[in-house]
């Protein structure tokens, strides 16, 4: 079955028309969040009256998971969602608990998490039986996939996690053609089938890395697997197509890539933290920092889908290191960059052995360093981190494009 057929006309829109529609939706969403949620009434109190461009969006604060958690914990007796949700009990169909402990609402809208698009790109079609091995308790993963499957007309077997033998029995007797779950559990099912060819032909996988080696291993056993990137806070963010060239961004979110520790967008192609604004009116997260690293791929998907693509998960952005008894965070490196805009990319390198740490700030700089710049940089590092560091000016483009701003090279063994 070909996967190149689009889920809807949105996927092939002219990019300029998509951007215009997204910015109009952004303005509505920011206005809605301000008026309907306590958290954004406070967080966006000083924001521009109209936020209808990416430049204006970049001026808004990034909300990271630890800040979301702090607000939830502070106001839990009054509002389990920390003032970020625009719906309450009754309007919310379900509430989920994710590690942290964080709570997320699920509204009544069909395909609430917008996963139908990813399932369709993976080849799932109406009238099929889908085996869902994501968890159905506490976290939204099981419901996330099931509601998407229902939206495209699939029947779902709620396998959940564990009970491998019972799940294999159900697969053998019900003969689903599709699977959703983690790559590792599908591998377990294929391994334990003891040579029996399972009826599963296609899979949408998430929650873990899905390397090409495992993809090819599954293909040899008759299963074509695709991956998607989704979170419990946002739902679907991006999905893979048969082109196998990155992940196409979902039509219901606005994605930015920012320099770790800041809210500043990076140039296209540079690795940074993935920040997402959802257009979900029930839970209108604005500039939500996922903590994950990625980068925008140039050009459009060869399948004809015209939305931006990202490389996929490339590590974590929430970097930190403990140096001479003091924690150094990525946000502090970002503060150094703001104080010294003449510098390019920065990387704080920690070297040495236990109790003998050496700290060096590697700073990209075009041309010769002006007199006094090195001492000003060293002073900024000391002022912001409370630590002394060497300063090493290097040529632009010298630092790896991996999103890392703190690199700990110490050996503790």
Residues 6+ apart with CB under 8 A from 313: 209, 229, 292, 293, 294
- Is the domain of 201 the same as that of 136? yes
- Is the domain of 356 the same as that of 304? no
For residue 2, tell me if it sits in a domain: no
Instruction: Assign 8 to helix, strand or coil.
Output: coil
* Edge-first strand listing for the sheet containing 272-278: 63-64, 288-294, 272-278, 253-258
- For position 385, which CATH number holds? 3.30.300.30
pLDDT tens, residue order, the chain (413 aa): 444 589 999 999 999 999 999 999 999 999 999 999 999 999 999 999 999 999 999 999 999 988 999 999 997 778 899 999 999 999 999 999 988 789 999 999 999 999 999 999 999 999 999 999 999 999 999 999 999 999 999 999 999 998 999 999 999 999 999 999 999 999 999 999 877 889 999 999 998 889 999 999 999 999 999 999 999 999 999 999 999 999 999 999 999 999 988 899 999 999 999 999 999 999 999 999 998 999 999 999 999 999 999 998 888 887 778 787 677 888 899 899 999 999 999 999 998 865 568 899 999 999 999 999 999 999 999 999 988 999 999 999 999 999 889 988 886 55
- Is the domain of 350 the same as that of 261? no
- Is the domain of 102 the same as that of 32? yes
Q: Which of 130, 208, 136 is nearest to 171 (CA)?
A: 130
- The continuous run of DSSP H or E covering 237 comes out as strand 235-240
- Is the domain of 111 the same as that of 155? yes
For residue 3, tell me if it sits in a domain: no
- The continuous run of DSSP H or E covering 151 comes out as helix 141-151
For residue 157, tell me if it sits in a domain: yes
pTM: 0.85
What is the model's pLDDT at position 329?
85
- Is the domain of 212 the same as that of 327? no
For residue 140, tell me if it sits in a domain: yes
- Is the domain of 226 the same as that of 331? no
Q: Which of 283, 290, 291 is nearest to 82 (CA)?
A: 283
- Is the domain of 219 the same as that of 298? yes
- Is the domain of 95 the same as that of 37? yes
Asked if 34 contacts 41 with a C-beta cutoff of 8 angstroms, the reply is yes
Asked if 47 contacts 59 with a C-beta cutoff of 8 angstroms, the reply is yes
What is the model's pLDDT at position 1?
42
Q: Which of 310, 331, 362 is the last residue of a domain?
A: 310
- For position 215, which CATH number holds? 3.40.50.12780
What is the model's pLDDT at position 194?
73
- Is the domain of 355 the same as that of 284? no
Q: Which of 310, 332, 351 is the last residue of a domain?
A: 310
For residue 118, tell me if it sits in a domain: yes
Domain of residue 167 covers: 9-310
**C-beta contacts of 170-173 below 8 A and 24+ residues apart:** 170/131, 171/131, 171/198, 171/199, 171/200, 172/196, 172/198
Q: Which of 249, 254, 258 is nearest to 301 (CA)?
A: 249
Q: Which of 275, 310, 345 is the last residue of a domain?
A: 310
- Is the domain of 359 the same as that of 303? no
Any idea what DSSP says for residue 213?
A: H
**How far apart are alpha carbons 145 and 131 in whole angstroms?**
10
C-alpha distances (whole Å) from 66 to each of 38, 96, 180, 293, 334 are 18, 17, 29, 17, 18
For residue 1, tell me if it sits in a domain: no
For residue 413, tell me if it sits in a domain: no
For residue 315, tell me if it sits in a domain: no
**How far apart are alpha carbons 26 and 108 in whole angstroms?**
22
DSSP string across 241-283: -TT-SSEEEPTTEEEEEE-TTS-PBPPTT--EEEEEEE--SSS
Domains of the chain: total: 2
- Is the domain of 302 the same as that of 338? no
C-alpha distances (whole Å) from 412 to each of 28, 327, 351, 357 are 52, 17, 11, 11
């Amino acid at each position: 079955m070909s996967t190149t057929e689009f889920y809807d006309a949105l996927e092939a829109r002219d990019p300029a028309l998509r951007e215009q529609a997204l910015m109009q939706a952004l303005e509505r969403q920011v206005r809605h969040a301000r008026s309907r949620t306590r958290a954004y009434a406070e967080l966006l109190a000083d924001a521009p009256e109209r936020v209808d461009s990416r430049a204006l969006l970049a001026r808004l604060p990034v909300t990271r998971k630890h800040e979301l958690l702090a607000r939830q914990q502070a106001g839990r007796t009054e509002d389990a969602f920390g003032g970020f949700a625009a719906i309450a009990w009754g309007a919310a169909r379900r509430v989920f608990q994710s590690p942290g402990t964080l709570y997320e609402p699920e509204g009544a809208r069909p395909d609430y998490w917008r996963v139908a698009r990813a399932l369709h790109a993976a080849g799932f079609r109406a009238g099929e039986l889908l085996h869902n091995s994501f968890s159905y308790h506490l976290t939204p993963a099981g419901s996330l996939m099931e509601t998407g499957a229902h939206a495209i007309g699939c029947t779902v077997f709620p396998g959940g996690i564990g009970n491998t033998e019972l799940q294999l029995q159900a697969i053998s007797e019900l003969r689903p053609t599709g699977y959703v779950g983690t790559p590792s559990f599908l591998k377990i099912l294929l391994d334990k089938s003891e040579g029996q060819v399972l009826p599963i032909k296609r899979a949408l996988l998430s929650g873990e890395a899905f390397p090409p080696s495992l993809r090819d291993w599954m293909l040899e056993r008759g299963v074509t697997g695709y991956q998607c990137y989704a979170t419990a806070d946002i739902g679907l963010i991006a999905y893979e197509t048969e082109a196998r060239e990155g992940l196409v961004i979902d039509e219901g979110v606005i994605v930015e890539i920012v320099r770790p520790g800041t809210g500043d967008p990076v140039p296209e192609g540079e690795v940074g933290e993935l920040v997402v604004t959802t257009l979900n009116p029930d839970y209108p997260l604005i500039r939500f920092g996922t903590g994950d690293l990625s980068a925008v791929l140039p050009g459009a998907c060869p399948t004809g889908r015209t939305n931006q693509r990202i490389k996929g998960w490339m590590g974590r952005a929430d970097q930190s290191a403990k140096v001479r008894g003091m924690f150094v965070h990525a946000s502090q490196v970002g503060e150094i960059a703001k104080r010294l805009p003449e510098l390019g990319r920065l990387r704080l390198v920690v070297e040495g052995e236990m109790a003998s740490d050496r700290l060096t700030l590697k700073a990209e700089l075009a041309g010769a360093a002006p007199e006094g710049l090195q001492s000003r940089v060293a002073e900024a590092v000391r002022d912001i981190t409370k630590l002394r560091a060497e300063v090493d000016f290097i040529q632009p483009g010298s630092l790896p494009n991996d999103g890392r701003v703190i690199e700990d090279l110490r050996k503790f063994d």
